[in-house]
Amino acid sequence: MSDSPNKEKDTVKFSTDSKDRATSLLRTLLRCNYFRDGIPSEAELSRTLRIPRTSISTALHVLAAENLVGKQSGNQGWVYHGWPNQTPTGQVTFVVNTDILRGWYSLFQDWLIGFEHVMSSEGYETQILCDFLSPQDKIQKIRQSWERGSMGVMLASHTEAVIRQFLVDSGIPAAMVGNANTTQEELGSICSDNRGGIEKLVGYLLSQNHSDIGFYSTGLGYHDGFRERLSSYVSVMRHNGLEPRHDLAFTEPHSENSARKAAEIIYRQPSKPSAILCASDREAFELVTELKHLGLEVPRNISITGFDNNHYGQILEPSMTTIDIFAIEMGRVAANYLLNEMQVRQLPVKILLPTRLMARNSVQACGNPAIDPHAYLTSSGQETNRILTF
């Protein structure tokens, strides 16, 4: 899903290899002026980005070859040189509710990588707005960025209706990327095929002889995409004559105790599900940890799947079976949509990107699978073979 090299002004690697990811992420953060107080040490960057220090060192030398960074005299670390050989022709704003490097948020990082890559190729500098005290604070900061010359806004987190309406009323070019607000109609949005992704996951678990499958999610009260995933799970289970389990579907927002609560419910059940489908990889990672504390090993005692193909899903143990939503490509599509919106007002359409099943080690078959894992039926009765196995 990458463009031909002659159409790009620089190179972004879409591999999940840590060295490639370190280079892409660092390049993006530097061009967004994320490190306002200077580039941290390699050790601090490794800790903050959760990427091995050797990969950080390699990335910095690659960026030095691009003349984006340079070594300070006396071995005092690295310094950002700014955009080499050009001056940005404009600025756009990328809005995310929390610090993009906090916690397990590689999904937001991937959206930003794809978005900023397209914008920089077109001569636009991207600024990041995050950590808001309230919806009114978010509106105020967006208004200030607009008054300082920002030409468009990309919303990459759950966005309240009052903010969406403010953008429409103010005539500020804006769009959304992600799955938190899939039912809104005020702004154009780039989402993933949540229903299709869940069909692939449930179908794969069925192909591995799992029939007692639970669904774990938090934030169902405000996250449209999670509700879509729950609805699809219920539909596919019933289509296959199986009873959905709702005891781990929570409407309240995610908290540090959410996975512990879910794990304790599972632990106390006399008849435990053989597999749990989680609404996101972050929730899957946390659930695996809490189950392990209670003596339940994944996948030996119970299989777990995530959703969204978070970067960490391949490097944690066990590696996470999940749905790839092509997050970097989502960011690229979102950037192109916003570029068009900045030229002339667009019809606020919803663009759905496809999904792909990533079968990894967090799922173990129950007995001998009776169904070919490369051909199973979705709730629409259609066969699919879009499985990528690691």
In tens, the pLDDT along 90-148 reads 999 999 999 988 866 789 999 999 999 999 999 999 999 999 999 999 999 999 999 99
Distance CA 72, CA 61 (A): 13
What pLDDT is attached to residue 74?
66
Tell me if the domain spanning 194-324+356-389 has CATH number 3.40.50.2300. Answer: yes
Q: How far apart are CA 14 and CA 389, in angstroms?
A: 18
What is the model's pLDDT at position 72? 81
pLDDT given at position 372: 52
Report the DSSP pairing between strands 213-216 and 275-278: parallel
Length of the chain: 390
pLDDT of residue 106: 85
Residue 83: predicted pLDDT: 79
pLDDT the model gives residue 374: 45
Q: Are strands 174-177 and 150-155 parallel, antiparallel or unpaired?
A: parallel
Q: Which stretches of 278-326 are DSSP H helices?
A: 281-293
- pLDDT band (50, 70, 90) for residue 368: low
Task: Mark residue 241 as left, alpha or beta (left: phi above 0; alpha: psi -120 to 50; beta: remaining).
Answer: left
Judge whether 129 and 141 are in contact, CB under 8 Å: yes
The arithmetic mean of pLDDT across residues 291-308, rounded, is 97
- Residue 312 pLDDT level (bands cut at 50, 70, 90): confident
Over the stretch 202-226, which tens digit does the pLDDT of each residue have? 999 999 999 999 999 999 998 999 9
* pLDDT > 70: percent of the chain: 88
Q: Which sequence spans correspond to the domains of the chain?
A: 1-86, 194-324+356-389
- The answer to whether residues 89 and 150 touch, using CB atoms and an 8 Å cutoff, is no
What pLDDT, on the 0 to 100 scale, is given for residue 52?
Answer: 87
pLDDT band at 75 (very low <50, low <70, confident <90, very high): low
1-86 CATH: 1.10.10.10
User: Does the pLDDT value for residue 378 go beyond 60?
Assistant: no
Question: For position 10, what pLDDT does the model report?
Answer: 34
Band the pLDDT of 383: cuts 50, 70, 90. Answer: very low
Element (H, E) at 151: strand 150-155
Distance, in Å, from the CA atom of 125 to the CA atom of 116, rounded to the nearest integer, reads 8
CA distance 193 to 19: 29
Q: What is the arithmetic mean of pLDDT over 49-75?
A: 88
Tens of pLDDT, residues 334-363: 999 999 999 998 889 999 999 999 999 999
How much is the mean pLDDT over the chain? 88
